């Protein structure tokens, strides 16, 4: 059923700086697309089936622009180190387990179930090195009902023996097989080229990945300028690169002619930022992770003011939870500490801006996604905030703000992706 009307209290970003509020209004879905949000239901939609969600709140689905499926198993653990040590101590040992398909089956079943139930409707996901486990993850994500990009990770250097591809050529062969197996297999799940980051990818591997991007018309995701030690290592490994992002760009893996997500950009300088903007690269802002492993805080309001694409990300398991509401509140909180402790020239994020990056900001990577303007794909959450009890009358705006600070899975009563209802617990 792809043509229908939902009734409720509708909220969505009408710009980076403001949220449109339509109390007691109508949201129309036609063929999986939003036909608009209306205070009065237009006559031409009067015959469509209508679900009345009463006093509940309807918002666009949230977009998680960066997370690691094989790290979900150790969420909440091992956050007593900075990035490079954290990768070697916790992350690579855990990710190496996904060579075992039985383990992957168990772990990715849990992961996909959480993805199904949480506020996320779209996600850009890192898998592990392993093609079979990555295909299994893609099967699970397809079943979850979300729309996602999933990337088999490439690493052929500076990685532990037990978790490193044998050569650039074997990595590329496995990657191409995986692409061919998966690129037309699913309705909602697509492969994405995923060099882990510059330190673990040889020049030969990067050149080969560029070839695959062109040959199969694929997007790219990776990590950028997250941590000082990582940035220093990239400078050492790539003495000719003018800055970290340039090390990707030299290989044609930094947007421009393909969609590209770079996670973090905590310590991005002006030159790097200019190239990000020029190439239309999406920044995946990961406030929980950047705090947990002490990387810092990216100056997001500055990026937004520069018309740079910014989406929000849980970065599981640098971030401990897939709950994107938690990331919304954390993005605001981290921006305030950055303002207080480091740099008052960059304003803290407003609730409106945080909501924007969690919806339209990241959604735009997937096309027209993250809004209820006409023509956007119909991804929606129905929130029941009655569990967030209060003694006083509250405006719709206040109720929305409380959800963004306090909601979790319990408060999501129904979830729609591309016009399909994933569940309805009302």
Task: Answer whether 393's CB lies under 8 Å from 36's CB.
Answer: no
By C-beta, is 31 or 398 nearer to a copy of itself? Answer: 398
The pair of structure tokens assigned to 418 is: 């591309």
Q: Which stretch binds a copy of itself (CB under 8 A): 9-17, 31-39, 139-147, 397-405?
A: 397-405
Q: Does 75 bind a copy of itself (CB under 8 A)?
A: yes
Q: Does 406 bind a copy of itself (CB under 8 A)?
A: yes
What is the nearest approach in angstroms of a copy of itself to the Cβ of residue 70? 10
Q: Does 268 bind a copy of itself (CB under 8 A)?
A: no
What is the nearest approach in angstroms of a copy of itself to the Cβ of residue 28? 30
What is the nearest approach in angstroms of a copy of itself to the Cβ of residue 333? 4
Q: Which stretch binds a copy of itself (CB under 8 A): 37-45, 72-80, 240-248, 364-372?
A: 72-80
Q: Which stretch binds a copy of itself (CB under 8 A): 127-135, 161-169, 250-258, 342-350?
A: 342-350
- The residues near 292 (Cβ < 8 Å, ≥ 6 apart) are 79, 318, 319, 320
The pair of structure tokens assigned to 69 is: 């499926």
Q: Does 393 bind a copy of itself (CB under 8 A)?
A: no
By C-beta, is 180 or 337 nearer to a copy of itself? Answer: 337
Q: Does 285 bind a copy of itself (CB under 8 A)?
A: no
Task: Answer whether 286's CB lies under 8 Å from 66's CB.
Answer: yes
Binding to a copy of itself, residues 101-140 (CB under 8 A) = 103, 106-107, 110
The pair of structure tokens assigned to 292 is: 């947990």
Task: Answer whether 316's CB lies under 8 Å from 74's CB.
Answer: no
Q: Which stretch binds a copy of itself (CB under 8 A): 151-159, 304-312, 374-382, 386-394?
A: 386-394
Q: Does 162 bind a copy of itself (CB under 8 A)?
A: no
Q: Which stretch binds a copy of itself (CB under 8 A): 131-139, 163-171, 202-210, 331-339?
A: 331-339
By C-beta, is 157 or 347 nearer to a copy of itself? Answer: 347
Site map (CB under 8 A) of a copy of itself, residues 344-363, x = contact: ----x-xx------------
Size of the site for a copy of itself (CB under 8 A): 50
Q: How many whole angstroms separate alpha carbon 126 and alpha carbon 63?
A: 15
Q: Does 296 bind a copy of itself (CB under 8 A)?
A: yes
Q: Does 264 bind a copy of itself (CB under 8 A)?
A: no
Q: Does 425 bind a copy of itself (CB under 8 A)?
A: no
Neighbours of 393 (CB within 10 A): 6
Q: How many whole angstroms separate alpha carbon 194 and alpha carbon 70?
A: 14
Binding site for a copy of itself (CB under 8 A): 73-77, 79-80, 94, 97, 103, 106-107, 110, 288, 291-297, 320-321, 329, 332-334, 336-342, 348, 350-351, 388-392, 398, 401-402, 404-406, 408, 410
């Amino acid at each position: 059923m792809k043509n229908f009307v939902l009734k409720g209290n509708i909220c969505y970003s009408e710009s980076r700086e403001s949220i449109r509020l339509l109390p007691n209004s109508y949201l129309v879905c036609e063929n999986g697309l939003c036909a608009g949000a209306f205070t009065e239901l237009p006559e031409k939609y009067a015959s469509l089936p209508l679900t009345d969600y009463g006093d509940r709140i309807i918002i666009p689905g949230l977009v998680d622009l960066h997370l690691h499926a094989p790290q979900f198993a150790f969420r909440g653990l091992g956050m007593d180190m900075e990035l490079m040590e954290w990768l070697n101590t916790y992350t690579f040992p855990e990710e190496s387990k996904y060579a075992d398909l039985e383990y992957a089956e168990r772990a990715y079943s849990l992961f996909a179930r959480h993805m199904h139930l949480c506020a996320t409707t779209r996600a850009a996901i890192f898998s592990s090195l392993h093609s079979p486990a990555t295909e299994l993850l893609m099967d699970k994500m397809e079943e979850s009902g979300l729309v996602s990009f999933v990337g088999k990770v490439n690493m052929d250097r500076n990685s532990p023996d037990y978790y490193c591809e044998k050569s650039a050529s074997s990595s590329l062969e496995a990657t191409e097989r995986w692409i061919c197996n998966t690129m037309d297999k699913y309705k909602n799940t697509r492969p994405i080229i995923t060099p882990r980051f510059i330190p673990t990818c040889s020049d030969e591997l990067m050149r080969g990945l560029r070839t695959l991007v062109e040959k199969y018309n694929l997007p790219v995701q990776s990590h950028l300028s997250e941590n000082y030690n990582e940035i220093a290592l990239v400078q050492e490994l790539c003495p000719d690169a003018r800055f970290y992002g340039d090390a990707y760009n030299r290989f044609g893996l930094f947007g421009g002619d393909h969609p590209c997500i770079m996670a973090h950009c905590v310590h991005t300088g002006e030159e790097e930022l200019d190239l990000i903007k020029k190439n239309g690269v999406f920044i995946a802002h990961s406030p929980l992770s950047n705090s947990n492993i002490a990387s810092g805080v990216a100056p997001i309001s500055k990026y937004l003011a520069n018309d740079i694409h910014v989406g929000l990300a849980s970065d599981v398991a640098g971030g401990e939870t897939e709950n994107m509401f938690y990331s919304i509140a954390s993005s605001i909180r981290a921006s305030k500490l950055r303002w207080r402790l480091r740099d008052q020239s960059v304003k803290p994020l407003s609730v409106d801006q945080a909501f924007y990056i969690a919806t339209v900001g990241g959604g735009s990577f997937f096309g027209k996604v993250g809004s209820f303007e006409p023509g956007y794909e119909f991804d929606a959450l129905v929130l029941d905030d009655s569990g967030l009890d209060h003694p006083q009358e509250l405006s719709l705006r206040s109720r929305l703000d409380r959800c963004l600070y306090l909601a979790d899975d319990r408060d999501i009563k129904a979830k729609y992706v591309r016009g399909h209802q994933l569940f309805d617990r009302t």
